[in-house]
Structure 1
Amino acid sequence: RTLPILSLDAGLVFEREVGWFGRAAQQTLEPRLFYAYTPYRNQNNLPNFDSALADLVYAQLFTENIFSGSDRISNANQLTAALTTRILDDETGAERLRAAIAQRYYFTDQLVTLPGQPQGSDTSTDVLATLTAQLGRSWAIDLAMQYSAEEASVVQGTVGTRWQPGRASVLSAYYRYQSNGTSPNSTQSTGISQIDLSGQWPLTNRWYAVGRFNYSLVDKRVIDAVAGFEYQQDCWLLRFAVQRFATTAQNATTNFYLQLELNGLTSVGTSAANLLQRNIPGYHLLNPVPRSPGRFEFYE
């Protein structure tokens, strides 16, 4: 199967001087257009092993394929329009605030489908908006929402805060919401109301606690929980974590992770580091692998 894909990504950046809580700053206004075209090809005779309808998140609006995986390639004649504004500190260049809004428009029906699914005839997606604000050096606030014009309501949203005062020190609290029923851009049909707490925190110079607690207010049960510790010595590092997550409405599975790292040599055991990176926003690797320099690392 071979398909040509055309995509065009264009944008502009406008800047102006503003004040931001008594400090000099720059505000940007950044309109962006992303166009994608992929001709239709019937793929019903091809097996589907790993493709699924991709979650409708902000970054997905700037991709050519509405499916994840490689077994299905959607036909496309679509345009994403977006607008972003940022506040940048004049002295440090740090980004103090970022707000963005975007929507994708379809100029043709979505003919490529997953097995057993009908073809799509949406003319546009819901409106997606995101906001991130940095409050001082340690505090950050994140907000994301999906607004349905058809339902005239917010059908999905996330709001949370993150405190990160230093290296390997982060605490996060988030709330996630999704309305009942299936929106035009979501395959889920049940409502979601969840709190999600996570963190990585030093107990001593060598001991660190890590954990996550994801609780469903609708189902009144723990959806996902992680607890563990990290111990760092001069030349080695030990990680241990336990994860328990719901597999069905009544059942849950428990996994154990144990990992030993020898600095600059090797890592032995299950990858607890990957688990912690997936589950803890802002997680910091205590023993990061040195990055190999690129071909042009030392050229200006």
Structure 2
Amino acid sequence: VPYFNFPIDDRRTTGILNPQFGFSNDGGIELSVPVYLNLAPNYDATITPRYLADRGAMLQGEFRYLTDGFGAGQIWGGILPSDKEYDDKDRKDFHFLHNWDINDQWSTNLEYNYASDKDYFSDLDSSPISKTDLNLRRAWELNYQHGIPGLKAQLKVEDFQTLDPQVKDADKPYARLPQFLLNYVTGNPLGLQYEFNNDTAYFKKSINDNSAQESSGTRIYNQFATRYNYRTPAAFVIPEVSVRSIQTFYDKDTQLNNPGGSENKSVVVPQFTLDTGLNFEREGKYLQTLTPRAFYAYAPYKNQDGYPNFDSTTASISYDQLFNPYRFYGHDRLEDNNFLSLGVSYSLFDTVGLERLRASVGQSYYFEDRRVTLKQGQDEFDTERKTGPVISLSSQLNQNFTIAANSAWMSNGDNAQRDFQVYYTGDKGNLYNLGYFYRKDIPGRQDTYDQVVASFIQPIKDNWRIMGHVQYDMDNDVARELLLGVNYESCCWGISVYGRSYYNDLDDPKTSDVSEKRAIMAEITLKGLGGLNNKLASLLENRVLGFNKINQSWTQR
């Protein structure tokens, strides 16, 4: 006699997991039935036959393992032969992750990713995590820490698969073959302290389409710093003197492609910084603090024209960045500096320690042009004598309600960026988020971005709740993603039905051949077999701030 059962606790059992039903405008009717295989106490597998009416039959799989003394890992992927909606091409992906804590000091991890084409993840990926990066990472890392006090080190080999064949070779990321990173800090955190940083890497990029001159080679970055940390409850004064250096050794082949340049380049730049501030407190019904701060940085100019840019970008604007002497992320340039930043922060704490209000405002003043740039030549921002004001605000009105806002202006009065977020989590499983994010188009520094994001989760009756998410692109006047769903959760099983309309984050809605993807999905969750992380939950986990905490309390109530 046929029968059906499933466990009601955490014991793993071989069987069928959550079947998923759905319909999408580019795949038609869809059905997937994962089969879980409890192979052994330390490894298992999931095989998922999947059928898409307009594309064909697909097979996906996942294998997880836990070894005795050799770490744990995961292998997953899928294959769709002769996709009828993709010129009958075979489409596939493969992924491998392994992590191993060798002992208390040493750890290593390995990552490999492959996909057959740039549209694979938006068309077929069973994982709802947004795959917007067309460069898939492949890397091995060996890490050291918690051994010698103050010492951290990493050895890394890293390369990427660029999925879009239209991307020029010059725009592809460099491979690191390998890269060695070391940071060592010693001394007294409340007194004299020494720090050494090293970043040594061999960067490789093959230019086969004549889109640029090849500049592969080795870069060695060193920094020696000495600082004195004077800190009291009333004030802090932290002077620091450092010496930084870059040495670059070009490949011989690179030198042939760039005969006008030098095979080896090196530069050494000293730097002085002074970070100082006062701490004022006033006690009463609420504790109030006021912290004025001044930061000065000086480093002489050294010509670095013609140096390659392997991995550096311009730092984004923020209140904290005002007090940072490094205006580039990465170690391809040694900044010239002669500026003073002034700022003040105010905080208001209630009797239980909640920061009811935090407000910060600051501005930088430049005494010289910034002549070191990532590209040849200066722009208008390199010659300005000050930034516009930068403001940061946050308020925790109570345990459940948080507001945050940031804004930065340029010296001409234009707003360079601003963002605003409201976040509320209730005691009965309800959640509301609203955010607005804007970035002005500044060529060579930041791309335009103007979007509104909102989401909610609302219990409606007993075990039922509705949830939604929207991401609206103000630049293109289009909703990049809309999601609305209903979910039922009991002690042992659950059901979710949701609709989703979306663009891949890399799609341009203004392009005539790009259209939104639409899908309706339904899934059943048997908790003893499938756990709590169904596809809808995974979608919201990666889009809704605070979802994990709310979802866990809801499903385990």
Q: Report deviation, 1:141.
A: 1.5
Match of 1:173 in 2: 434
What displacement does 1:186 show? 5.3
Distance in 1 (alpha carbons) for counterparts of 2:548 and 2:297: 36
Give the AA of the match of 2:356. R
Partner of 2:283: 17
CA distance in 2, matches of 1:117, 1:209: 54
**Distance verdict in 2 for CA 1:135–1:52, change over 3 Å:** same
Residues 200, 110 of structure 1: CA spacing in aligned structure 2 closer, same or farther, 3 A cutoff?
A: farther
Which of residues 295, 298, 301 in structure 2 aligns to 1:34? 295
SS in 2 for 1:245: coil
SS in 2 for 1:60: helix
| Structure 2 residue identity aligned to 1:69 | G
Kept in 2, the 8 Å contact 1:36–1:79? The answer is: yes
Distance change in 2, residues 1:87/1:207 (3 Å): same
Name the structure 1 match of 2:358.
98
Query: Is 1:144 aligned with 2:406?
Result: yes
TM-score when scaled to structure 1? 0.67
Distance 1:65 1:137, change over 3 A: same
Of residues 197, 209, 222 in structure 1, which corresponds to 2:454? 197
- Alpha-carbon deviation of 1:101? 0.2
Mapping 1:183-262, distance limit 5 Å? 187-188=446-447, 190=448, 192-198=449-455, 212-223=469-480, 244-247=503-506, 248=508, 249-250=510-511, 251=514
**Cα distance, 1:45 vs. partner?**
3.2
CA contact (8 A) 2:354 2:396 kept: no
Question: What TM-score do the two structures reach when normalised by structure 2?
Answer: 0.39
State how far apart, in whole Å, the 2-side matches of 1:8 and 1:283 are.
42
d(CA) in 1 for partners of 2:322, 2:462: 43
Deviation for aligned residue 1:174: 1.1
Change (3 A) 1:16 1:217: same
- Give unpaired runs (5+ residues) of structure 1: 19-23, 233-241, 255-271, 288-300
Change in 2 beyond 3 A, CA 1:51/1:211: farther
The worse-fitting range, judged by mean Cα deviation, of 115-124 and 79-88 is: 115-124
1:213/1:222 contact within 8 Å kept: yes
Contact 2:348 2:356 in 1 (8 A): yes
2:320 corresponds in structure 1 to 59
Q: Does the CA-based 8 Å contact 1:109-1:122 persist in structure 2?
A: yes
On the 8 A contact 1:197/1:212 being kept in 2, the answer is yes
1:107 corresponding residue in structure 2: 367
Q: After the TM superposition, which of the residue ranges 30-39 and 123-132 deviates more from structure 2? A: 30-39
SS in 2 for 1:246: coil
For the Cα contact (< 8 Å) 1:84–1:98, is it kept in 2?
yes
Contact 1:170 1:199 in 2 (8 A): yes
Give 3-state SS (helix, strand or coil) of 2:331's partner: coil
Question: Matched residues in 1 for 2:368 and 2:362: separation?
Answer: 19
For residue 394 of structure 2, what is the aligned residue in structure 1?
132
Deviations 1:168-207 (A, max 9, x none): 864310123456x649x9544x5x5421124678999999
Question: Does the 8 Å CA contact 2:439/2:446 hold for their aligned counterparts?
Answer: no
Distance 1:42 1:80 in 2: 25
CA displacement at 1:143 relative to structure 2: 1.8
Q: CA deviation at 1:88?
A: 0.7
1:140/1:182 CA distance change after superposition, 3 Å = same
Aligned-partner Cα distance in 1 for 2:311–2:467:
31
The amino acid of 2:504's aligned partner reads F
> Which residues in structure 2 correspond to 1:284-299 (within 5 Å)?
284=548
Q: What is the identity, as a one-letter code, of the residue corresponding to 1:147? A: W
Secondary structure of 2:322's partner? helix
Q: What secondary structure, in the 3-state scheme, does the structure 2 residue paired with 1:61 have?
A: helix
Give distance in 2, aligned partners of 1:38 and 1:204. 64
Q: 1:112 and 1:133, CA in 2 relative to 1: closer, same or farther beyond 3 A?
A: same
State whether residues 363 and 390 of structure 2, in contact with CA within 8 Å, keep that contact through their aligned partners in structure 1. Answer: yes
For residues 94-122 of structure 1, what are the alpha-carbon distances to aligned partners after superposition, in whole Å with 9 as ceiling and x for unaligned? Answer: 21100110111222211111224525112
Q: What is the CA-CA distance between 1:34 and the residue it aligns to? A: 2.0
Query: Pick from 295, 298, 306: which aligns with 1:45?
Result: 306
Say whether the 8 Å CA contact 1:83–1:101 is kept in structure 2: yes
What is the alpha-carbon root mean square deviation over aligned residues?
4.7
**What do the CA deviations read for 1:50-108 (whole angstroms, capped 9, x no partner)?**
2121211222222221112232332222221110111011x212211001101112222
1:6-26 CA distance string (max 9 Å, x none) = 3332211111235xxxxx201
Which residues of 2 match residues 63-82 of structure 1 at below 5 A?
Answer: 63-82=324-343
Cα deviation digits, residues 121-154 of structure 1 (max 9, x gap): 1211121111111222211122222234523x54
Q: Which of structures 1 and 2 has the bigger CA Rg?
A: 2
Work out whether residues 167 and 284 of structure 1, in 8 Å CA contact, stay in contact via their aligned partners in 2.
no
Partner of 2:91: none
Closer, same or farther in 2 for the Cα pair 1:116/1:135, shift >3 Å? same
- Note if contact 1:222-1:246 (Cα within 8 Å) is conserved in structure 2: no
Instruction: List runs of 5+ in structure 2 lacking aligned partners.
Output: 1-220, 224-243, 245-270, 490-499, 518-536, 553-557
